[in-house]
Amino acid sequence: MQITWQIIVNINNWYNVEIGKNIGASAEGRLAGQPVANGSTPTAGNDISGMTAMLNSLAKINPDNHAGYSHNMKFSKSHFKGDRKKLESLLHTYWEMGGTQAMITAVNRGDLENAMKDPSKYANLIVRVGGFSARFIELRKEIQLDLLKRTLHE
For residue range 58-76, list pLDDT tens digits in order. 888 887 777 667 787 888 8
> Model-level pTM?
0.74
Q: Is the pLDDT of residue 154 over 80?
A: no
Among residues 29, 6, 19, 7, which one has the least CA distance to residue 130? 19
Write down the pLDDT at residue 44: 77
C-beta separation of 61 from 5 below 8 A = no
Residue 12 has pLDDT above 70, yes or no: no
Q: Is 33 left (phi over 0), alpha (psi -120 to 50) or beta?
A: left
% the chain with pLDDT above 70: 92
How far is residue 77's CA from residue 61's CA, in Å, rounded to a whole number?
28
